[in-house]
Every structure is written in C-alpha cells, then in structure tokens.
Structure 1
C-alpha cells in the first residue's frame, strides 16, 4: 500500500508521471508475452521516477514521501521536499500550518510541534484515493485492470473461516468448551465494532472513539499475524494466540507440516540392527509390525486358496488378514470377530483382503535426515521374530546409519503399481552407485573388509631353522614341526575348514547352489587351500558359472612392482579367479571405480554384484568367528624401543622449542612474511610439535607386528588410521583451537598451573602422553578443550548445512530434463542447453577421473552419446 501511495498523487490519484513518460512505461508494461520478472523491473523504475517528483504533473499539488509511523499508521510528509526559494511554495506551507491555529489556541503545547506536522493517511482517506485511481494507470502499478485494483488492498469486510478451520474443543477440566484462537479474536472484533457504534451514538469524546478505532485495527492485524512487533504496552494482548500467518508459515505450518510432508498410514518405526545373513536388498521386519501393516490384495483365481487361508488365520496369527472388503455390498468386516471359516468360504473374485505384510513384499525403508535420493530405498521384506528392523551392513553408507540406537522408518506401498515403481526406481540393486559421481555407495564395510583382507593377505613364508633362504618353502611344507606352524597361518585352510567356510554362503537364494572346490594350492603332505581361492569362489562358485570378471588395480598399500609388490597390494583378478593381491577398502569398499563390485555391476549386471556382496557378507562373520579378531591392552602396549624413540623425539622437539623461545626473547627470531614475532614463534613451534607426533606414529608402525589388530584395521581401511594408533601407543600430540595452540585465558596463562605468558609446549596444549600411559590433569583439560570445539562445530555445521541444503533444493526442485535435452524450470525457462554441459549421466560414467574424449562421427565431432 505504501508503495502504491508513493507512486500516486495524494490529491488527484493519478500516477506521478508526465504524459510522455507515462505513455512510454505504459506501452512497455502492456506488451503481450512480457515475463513477470521484466514487469517487476519496470515497476521498480516507475517507483524510482515517481519518488523524485514533488509536484503532481496533473493537479500541481505537492507530494512528499509516504512513511509508516508507529504500528499501524501511515503519514504523508507533504512539504518535506519544498524548496525555500519559491514564494508560492512557502505560501502553501503557511496555509497548512495555519490550519492548526484553532487547536493551538486551546493547547499551547501544539505550537512547538506545528513545524513537524504531517498529513495523516487514515484508512478511509487511502480508500478514497485508491478508488479514484484512473483505470488507465492501473497497469503501471503492476495490476490487471479487469481483475484487481489498488482498493482491493484494503479490507472493508473480514472473511470468516468455516467452523472446520476453527473447531471448538470440549474441555475436560471445566464445563463448556474451549474456543479456537480465531473464534476468540473474531468475538473481540465484533465486540469492538459494537463499542464504537455505542460510543458514537452516545456522543463520547473523539479521543475515546479514536482509541477504540486504533484498538480495532490492532485486533484485525493480530487476527492475521499475531507476531506483530512494537505493540504499545497498554494495547498488548494478555495471551499469545496463533493468527493466520502462524498457521501457514514455518516447519509446523500448513504447507510444510501438513501438505509437503505429513504423517502417513501404513508406516512403522523402530530401532535398527545388523544382520549379515540377509541379502543387501532385504530387510527383516518384526512379526509384531507385520501383523499391523496390511496390503489390500484383490482375490483372483490364482490366489483364492491363499486368501482363504489368510482369512481363516485372522488378525492374531501371521500370515493372516485384518479386514475384508466385499465387492458385492462394499462393506468392510473386521476379522478379529465373527465366523472366519464362513467368511473364507464366501470369498468371491474381486473382494479385497487386507492381508498382513508377508515375505517378498516391497517396502520403502528410510532414515532421517533424508539428505539425498538414496536415503530412502525399496527392499524386500523378510518377516522375522524379535523387535528390530535388520538389514545388511553393506547398505549402511547410503543411509548413513550405525547401530548405536538409530531408528528407521518403513512404509508399505498400497498398490501393485506403487510396488513395481518402487522396485524399479528405488530398489537397492538399482541404486548401488551414487548419482553424484557414479562411484559405488553400497559396498563392503568394516568387518567385511577386515575378513577379506585377513583371508587374502600374503603369508610370510619363513622357517626358524638356521638354513639358507632357498630351503624355507621346502622346510615349511615337508618338516612336521614347521607344517604345524603353517596350519596356524590364517590364510591356509585344510579341506574340512575350507568346506565349512564355503558352506556359510549356502543360504537364502544360494541354498541349492552347486559349489566346486578348486584344486588345492598345496598337495603334500596335506591338501591346503589359500584364502584367495576361497574368495574366488564367492565370485564364481563353479566352472559352469558364466560370470568371469577381470580386474588389475592398485590396492591401498601398493608400493611398486605391480603383481610383485612387496606388500601384495596389486590385485589381479582373471576370469573370476583372484591370482594376486590382498583385498582392502580400495578394491572392495565404496568410493572407488576400481572395486570388484563396480566391475561386476558394469560388466555382469546388478544381480551378479549383489550376489557376490551377499556371499562376502555371509562368509566374513563365519571366518572371523573362527579366527577371532579383537583388541586387547596388549595391542596398544609400547615396546622398549618405541619408548626410547619417543623420549628422544620429545627431547629434541622440546629443545628446538626452547631455542625458538630464547631467540624471540633475544630479538633474533627471523620473522615470517606477514607475521609478527609472536605469530612467527607460534607457527614454528606448532610445526615442530606436529612433526613429533608424525615421527612417533612412524616409529609405531616399525615396532608393531603385522598381526596387531589396530594395525590390520588401518592397513585394510576398515576403521581407524595410523594417527589413531600413534595416539593410543606413543603420543596424543598438540591440541588445537581454531587452528592454533591453546590461547592464554585469564591472567595471561592457559591454566593456573603454568607461569604467566609461558610459551612452553606443555603450557600451550601439547600432550606428551599417550592414551595408554594416561594423561595428566592439565593435558586432560587441554584435550577436552579441543574435543569441545569439535562438538560445537558439528552441532553448528549440522544446522547451517541443513538450512543451506533446504534453500538449494527449494531453488532447484522444479528443474527437469525436457525432450529437446535442455534443462528447464517450471516456467519453461532454459537453465542449461544440454544437461551438465555434456549430456552425460554421472551414474553411468565409467571414466576414472579422466576428461571425456570427443568421438568422431562421420565428419563431425560428437561430444555426447545423447546426440547420437
């Protein structure tokens, strides 16, 4: 309203533009097919031009700026822009001021305020102005003459919503009903109208009527928006209410809380647990949930007997049915009561039986926060006992789930079409790779990686007789005492152990699968199979199996020489047989296109990849259960060599820091570019202390045995890193806040245990102890300071990134790929002429960090497969 008032004359209601300008803007505004954004830009230019005009070109009356004054008042500063040079102008100002003479006689205080007097635009005055706006000027105000006018901005009648919008609630505490906030506010507005009518008829003071008028205006404003700011204390409402704005806006409002997202039927939620015996496209559903979630199955000739059985079982026996809807009379019957046998016999084709959730039903599985497409996927249900949803750990990554108390939601689609769509578009098999960059997201994790590494890693063939190196292998195989040593090596398995391990994969769909044990790697004196051979069976169980993947890639610990790599970290997979290399995160895990599962997915399809992953998930726990894999205090106990090396490193580091501090005091410390002497000292000391932890970590690796459990996990990439190991065994290292050492706090020191302004490593957050040796009280305090910063960062970042993502998604949600290969918005505006600039789907790109080569087609270069 204020925008319109600034554009029109406050006397004749014409738009404040001269004839030529008005015609020019009018022609531009009424041009057919002009986009809305262009019209807004033109209106902004019209408003800027009108704001600069102080005399109306039509009636010659002064016009000044229009402003909001107080809570609900609008004033017109009519003579603000009047120049003091023109006598005619000054005459108009004097006339305006003289109109206050009669009031000044009765109240002397007004005389001092006359100079600041402004024209008050009451709703009635503004209404009259808006009604007089010429029809020809309405397009300049960005309105359509046929459908809207400026007068529509002012409410003369209040729309009252129906009772279903503002229902009454019967109160349990007191007699009568509790009325809705909107009803109470409407009651107050009616009461105030009656008060004003009564005061006018009884001849009350004008001041009282004006107060009633202002209060009525405030109540109408609060009815629409109850969060108005700047309400005077004497008029402020006693109790906070919810206006229309509050019912619509925000997370709990109508749009976000009840329309875009809402509570739904046929859904369940409970705690999640791992189950490696399930396939990656399955989810175990508790019987308790399966009896409540129902699917409306139509009775046909094919399923008549099954439906009769389910009806007989009723509500309490699974699989059963809860309701039946008969086609003949369209009535719904609850199967907990009544003669179920009779109902079963009376079943007819076309009746709908609301049966329990059963095995192989398609369900949607979701974990919040749903930050990407793969946070909700379709699984096949497996009804199991106990109280949790269970699924294969390989599917944790897309959901970002762990089993420390997480809960997940399960939805049961209610039509055959919905089931088919869910399986094809949202199925776990169909979403093994992320649409972000085409890397596999569903892959082996944690225990599976550890087991695969231990099963396939190289055994060091050494004997403890003092003979030449050439006879080591001979000794291992033929000497009885060394043969026992060989059997203790995890990667060699005798026939019984190998068969027992392979039998672990015979479950579910693979229960009747034919397995062929390959020829043993060692024949005499006992047949022995290697872990690599066992792993090969997961990919190709028998010679008749057509799946024969090939892969040559570097592993996590690759150090050169390809298949002669000393760390056995160059993986060679030939026709489904693992010939060389120990498997780790790089070849089995997510986030790499060089992984075995990615090769299987691209070359042999979804089923081959999921089958191999499910077999690995079943064999890994079986292998680890027999071998054993745990961490004890012995794994993090430093040896004498490590303690000595750590002591030397600390002494050298502290000595260097003392030298830097002495150099600063003597003024000899060479300053770094752009840094003061203090900043330079902090930088050099921080660098020196960081090196101590790195060197201590390297010393750990040299000292630890290959069988050390934390070491195994760090090497295969299943969990942890070498930094974690060095912190547990050697030295926790420098604690940082905002990227620098712990700052001085109260009284110029970090803690009261140190001298003032001390620059020593211990006083500024360096933790020389390890978690094994235990932290001193001051070290513990510094360590918690660093940890607190991490926690606060995490909490703050979650909120910030969540809101940022919401804004991004909201701005991009209407983009779609049109049939002409352009990316367009909902208003058909072109955003990209070809999707991504190259027309390629990232999920289908096999390229590994290389730019796409243009392909020569005939005589022209084709840069995109979509262009033919």
Structure 2
C-alpha cells in the first residue's frame, strides 16, 4: 500500500508543553494496576501459570502470543502493558538523585529542615527566581550562590542548632560532620558535646584521638523525615518546582514494576523452563529482601542485622536502576552482571541512539562504494541485485498501464520487473514469483498498485555515516548498473567525507511522489553545491580533475591525432553519447598534425559549431606578466611547478557582431 503522509486535522486540544518531574509514591500507586507482593514467579502446578500478585502477573500485560492481557484483554501486538508497584519496607536512596539529595542537605538545617538563609536573602533570591523565562545557566548560577551562602552558615537562624558539612561516605551513605571543628576556639555547642565523653576517655584512652572525627550518620529514614519537613516556601529556593515534585520524592519508598512487554520471558528450547529478563530477576531479589527485613523486624533481630539487610536492599534497588555502579564492597558485589534501566537507555545500542535516532528501515540498501567519473554529480549507480529488491509502489493509470503490464510479465527475477501487485478493492498483496503473470498483467485495472523494481531515473537518498551535517544525506538519480557496488562521481566525495578504501554507504528509496519531489528539490546534489556554513563550494572538481585540467592546458601540451581522438571520445558518455563533435583545425600542421590541450578542453564547453554555447573565458592569473594574452610568459597562469592552478572565471556573452566568432580558449 502507498504510504500516506500524516496530515493534522482540526483538533479540539493541542499539547502546549511537557513538564518533567519526579513521581511521588501516591502517583505511582495511581498509575499502577496491582501491588506486587510475591517473590515467586510461577505457581507449583504443571501448567507453568504465573503467580497472582507476582512479578509475572498477566494483569501487567503479556509477553506470550497465545495468552491475552488480563487487564485489557488485548493480545501481545495491541496491549501496551500496565504497571504494577511494590512497597519498600524501608526507604532507599535513589542512585540517580543521590547527588541532588546531598546538595539539598547542605542547604537546609539538619534539625528543623529550614533553609539556612536570612529573611532578606530569601526575599532577594525569590525575586530573581520569579522572573519568567529564566535561562538554565542563570538558574544554575543562582543555585551555586544559594548553596555557598548556606554552607558558610553553621548556626540555624530558625532553631539555633549547630550544622556541619554533609558528605558522601562510601556507597550510597551520607554523613553529617556536625561536631567536627577546625577552629582553635571551639564552639560552646561542640565543647559541651566533647566534654560528655570525659568519663569514657578515662576508661579508654583511644577514644580521645577519634573525638575530632565524631559525626552523625544520615540513614535514608532520617533524610526522608528531614525532606518531608522542608517548608513549602523554601522549596523554590532549592531550585525545585513544587508542582513537579517535592524534595521527599527524591527518596524511594515505592518502586514501579514495569509492564511484561519490556521484560519478556523467553521459553528455553534446551532445558525445560524459561529464561527471565534481568529486570524481572532484580525485582524478585528486591521483594525477597523486603520479606527478610519484615521478618527480622517482627522477630526483633539485632539492629546490625537489619542494617546489613537494609544496605543490601539499597544496593539491589540501585543496581535495578544503574547496574554499572563503582565502589561496591567485595562481600556485596553481584556474581552476574545485569542490565539496568540506565544501560537500556544510554550508549550506542541504547534506546535513544540505537532505536529512536537510528532505526533499521525498509526500502534501504547498504554496500561498498566505488568511484565512477563517467557518472554525473547527481547520479548514483545501483547494482541490479539491489534494484530487484528495492521496490516503488506505482499506481496504475492510463499513462503507465502498458509499462506496468510489461513489468508484471517480467516478474521479480528479471530486471526491470515487479515483485507484488495490490488490487484496489481487495487490498490483498500477490507475490509475482508464482501464478500466471500474463493473466495478472491483463487483469490490471486503474488504481491498482504495482510494486515495481527500482529503475533508471528514480530518486534515491544517498547517505554516509556518520551524518555530521545536512549534506551527509543527499538525493541522487538512480542508474541501474551491473556489479555489486554503489558508484558515484568523485566530485561528491567532499560533502560525504567519503574515500574508497572500503567505505560503505546507505541508499534509501522514497515511497511517495511527494517524498520524491521534496528530496529532489531540497536535497538534490545540484541544490547543495555550496555549503550553508560559509558559502564555499563543496561539490567541485578535485584531485585527478584539477591535475588533468592543469596538465592538459599547459602551453607546451601537444597531442597527435590518435591521442586527441581518444581523449575526445572519452567526453562522450551517458546522455552525451550521441553528441556530434567537430574536431578543430590542428594548431601545428607540419611535419605532423598536432592539437593543443586547450583546443581539446574547449570541446567540453563547445563540442561543435552547431552548439549554441557562447562563452568568453578570460581571466587574469596571479603570475600574468602583462605582455599580451597569447604571448604571456607564464601562459596567464601560475608557474608550472605550482600545485594549484588559478581560478577560472566564466562570463557568458553574445558575440559583438553576426560575423565575429566567440573565443573559446581557456586559461587554467
């Protein structure tokens, strides 16, 4: 079927903007369909049924073709999946927001949760933040200023409690150096705290050396309670939008369980059972640890045991999000590497680069490239093998009926031919490899679609990766040729940054008339001869062309008849094969007829007297000696030892009178 372009109709609503924020625990509950509580995946029956309220419950979608979703009743192709949620027994730090949490703790009081700013400073900063359309860089600068002011203040202006520095300590642990002092005269608050250890020092002298490192351990539970108590008026000063998320949402108390369709179970052929996705296995571990902590709390286990379980739960939640964590202790390191959410998104093989920006597409081919100077700059030679596979959906009409019948009779194996027919009324595709093709050709009606092979003259998009600028993909006209490489003129190498040492390029065949027209007008090579960056010509003569033109148009280049005719014959290629060429009179008649290189070069511009070209090609070279055009010592060009010839300016003009002939000599 011919692809139709998407056109927006009159709609009642339009999306004005998208706001990114942090999901709260309540929003997660509203989004989810079920609460996941069971660590087991399947019930113990022989049917291998997923357990209810387990990680593979089919109310979260389906990953099997023969089993529909239990929430919406749709099959694998139509069901988008539904979320579940699981509650964490104890809150955990979110590995992605860990730095942000430390940043907020540095700005607030660790006793009353108020921001460490004076009333005047608050008003001043709020005045800046209320400005509409504040750029990101200015916001970042403001946050830095607020953070510096808060860190310098050690006493809270609200509750007068003492505050120290907040630091990261090990993997997902935060400490508050509340009592650390470097001043010679210690703060009365710190002095009082140190004096409380006098009796302990009498009995154990080792305590004295450790006193200056006394600090407060900030567990996720302590941090959560602090962030919950941050006043609403202070939230904007932390550079957070209260509508998009509050500081307490930066910690995890609840996890979303993703739909089954993004973590499918694969039935194993080698052994009985299934291979489960990394996310599914990580979720079962998290639920198992949840149950362990719940059991230990109920039975009154040692605090140290519960803290160890908590650390392990926190690590598993972090690995669920980002499995490439550094600094994991040896006793807690996972035995098998798994892919977390971050690994699914980032990098070359991730969602953004691998699946969204660069997709595998239909109607495209890729092979090695070769040079072909006989092709025009807007042409590309496509191998017959590729042309038979890439098809274009041509609608049958009065003008092309006979051609389509001929292509249908040829079938898919002979080029030019056709691969499929789609009848207008039935919308059914018929493969032309089998069946009576003569009968099908006779039954063709106006409106039917014939998927014909790529033929000469089709518009194709040619691309070389990496696509660094817009000229890395341009439209060319296809020329179907034998052999197995894409060939194009070397003049077009520069925009693609291509060389022929094994480079491969992609070729796409647009599928609608509209796409073809747009490609030719906007992306055609002739429409992109000049780079949009600085106006320099990108598609121009390079290497052999320049050297050949330079050597050929030197004043001492003479060619005999055989050589001259051979060079002239090489001009005739492609559409110019039947052009009549009139050889000029030789420059030297005796003892042997010799033609100058300039005379032959002139034939490119004006092949014969009948040609309507009227060009006066005169230019002043850098080394011009000024002794007359024909008698110039340097031939009106740079010295023969120079590598690059001077530029040629072409001025098209009419002859002065009916009898005067235009000059067609060229100084390169």
Does the CA-based 8 Å contact 2:616-2:653 persist in structure 1?
no
Q: Alignment partner for residue 20 of structure 1, among 116, 120, 124?
A: 120
Q: CA deviation at 1:362?
A: 1.3
Higher relative contact order (CA 8 A, sep 6+): 2
Match of 1:570 among 632, 637, 648: 637
Alignment of 1:74-85 (within 5 A): 74-81=174-181
CA distance in 2, matches of 1:169, 1:107: 61
Structure 2 equivalent of residue 291 of structure 1: 388
Q: Report deviation, 1:295.
A: 1.8
Q: Distance in 2 between matches of 1:106 and 1:330?
A: 93
The C-alpha deviation readout for 1:782-832, integer Å capped at 9, x for no partner, is: xxxxxxxxxxxxxxxxxxxxxxxxxxxxxxxxxxxxxxxxxxxxxxxxxxx
* TM-score, length-scaled by structure 1: 0.58
Q: TM-score, normalised by structure 2?
A: 0.74
SS at match of 2:253: coil
Residue 511 of structure 1 corresponds to 577
Unaligned runs of 5+ in 2: 1-100, 655-667
1:332 is aligned to 429
Cα offset, 1:394, TM superposition: 3.1
For residue 199 of structure 1, give the secondary structure of its aligned residue in structure 2.
Answer: helix
| Counterparts of residues 848-859 of structure 1 (less than 5 Å) | none
Matches within 5 A, 1:445-524: 445-459=542-556, 491-494=558-561, 498=564, 501-522=567-588
From 512, 515, 528, the equivalent of 1:415 is 512
Q: 1:367 to 1:39 in 2, by over 3 A?
A: closer
Asked if 2 retains the 8 angstrom alpha-carbon contact of 1:84 and 1:90, the reply is no
CA apart distance, 1:151: 0.8
Q: Specify the alignment match of 2:477 in structure 1.
A: 380
Corresponding residue number in structure 1 for 2:414: 317
SS of alignment partner, residue 430 of structure 1: helix
**Equivalent position to 2:149, from 49, 63, 72:** 49
| Paired residues for 1:156-555 under 5 Å | 156-459=253-556, 491-494=558-561, 498=564, 501-522=567-588, 529-553=595-619
Partner of 1:143: 240
Q: For the Cα contact (< 8 Å) 2:373–2:488, is it kept in 1?
A: yes
Query: Is contact 2:296–2:306 with CA below 8 Å preserved after alignment?
Result: yes
The 3 A distance-change label for structure 1 pair 499 and 19 is closer
How far apart, in 1, do the equivalents of 2:336 and 2:151 lie? 41
The equivalent position to 1:131 in structure 2, one of 207, 211, 228, is 228
* Equivalent residues in 2 for 1:707-856, closer than 5 Å: none
1:256-296 per-residue CA deviation (whole Å, 9 max, x = no partner) reads 22222233322222222232332222111111111111222
1:218 positional shift: 0.6
> Partners in 2 of 1:493 and 1:19 — Cα distance?
97
Partner of 1:71: 171
Contact residue 493 and residue 530 of structure 1 kept, 8 A: no
Partners of 2:598 and 2:380 lie apart in 1 by 30
Q: How far apart in 2 are the matches of 1:373 and 1:549? A: 34
Q: How far apart, in 2, do the equivalents of 1:207 and 1:55 lie?
A: 33
Q: 1:502 to 1:24 in 2, by over 3 A?
A: closer
1:433 is paired with a residue whose SS is coil
Secondary structure in 2 aligned to 1:188?
helix
- Distance in structure 1 (CA, Å) of the matches to 2:503 and 2:249: 53
Contact 2:614/2:653 (<8 A) preserved: no
Q: Return the offset for 1:129.
A: 1.2
Measure the CA separation in 2 of the matches of 1:15 and 1:518: 92
Q: CA RMSD in A?
A: 3.4
**Residues 173 and 311 (structure 1 numbering): CA distance in 2 closer, same or farther, change over 3 Å?**
same
Residue 122 in structure 1 maps to residue 214 in structure 2: no
CA contact (8 A) 1:54 1:81 kept: no
The CA distance in 1 between the partners of 2:128 and 2:572, in whole Å, is 76
Contact preservation (8 Å) 2:383, 2:482:
yes
**Among 29, 46, 68, the residue aligned to 2:129:** 29
**What is residue 98 of structure 2 aligned with on the other side?**
none
Is there any run of 5+ residues in structure 1 with no aligned partner, and where? 460-489, 572-580, 605-715, 717-868
Task: Provide the secondary structure at the position in 1 that maps to 2:160.
Answer: coil
Local SS of the residue matching 1:157: strand
Aligned to 2:261, the other structure's residue is in SS state: coil
| Cα pair 1:456 1:582 within 8 Å, conserved | no
Aligned mates of 1:107, 1:263 — CA distance in 2: 70
1:445 CA displacement: 4.0
Q: Counterparts of 2:623 and 2:486 in 1: how far apart (Å)?
A: 37
2:139 aligned to which of 15, 35, 39: 39
Q: 1:324 touches 1:334 (CA, 8 Å); kept in 2?
A: yes
- Do 1:12 and 1:59's aligned partners in 2 also have CA atoms closer than 8 Å? yes
- Tell me if structure 1 keeps the 8 A contact 2:394–2:449: yes
| Structure 1 residue 595 corresponds to structure 2 residue 648 | yes
Q: 1:556 to 1:547 in 2, by over 3 A?
A: same
Specify the SS of the correspondent of 2:147: helix
CA distance in 1, matches of 2:469, 2:476: 17
SS at match of 2:359: coil
Q: Mapping of 1:93-112 within 5 angstroms? A: 93-94=193-194
Q: Give 1:492 shift.
A: 3.9
Give the match's secondary structure for 2:281.
helix
Question: Structure 1 pair 66/582, CA: closer, same or farther in 2 (3 Å)?
Answer: closer
The verdict on how the C-alpha distance between 1:360 and 1:84 changes in structure 2, with shifts beyond 3 A counting, is same
Listed one character per residue, the Cα deviations across residues 410-435 of structure 1 (whole Å, up to 9, x for unaligned) are: 22222222222222232222233344
- Aligned residues of 1:285 and 1:383 also touching (Cα < 8 A): yes
Which deviates the most, 123-132 or 394-403? 394-403
Deviations 1:430-487 (A, max 9, x none): 233344554444344444445444543334xxxxxxxxxxxxxxxxxxxxxxxxxxxx
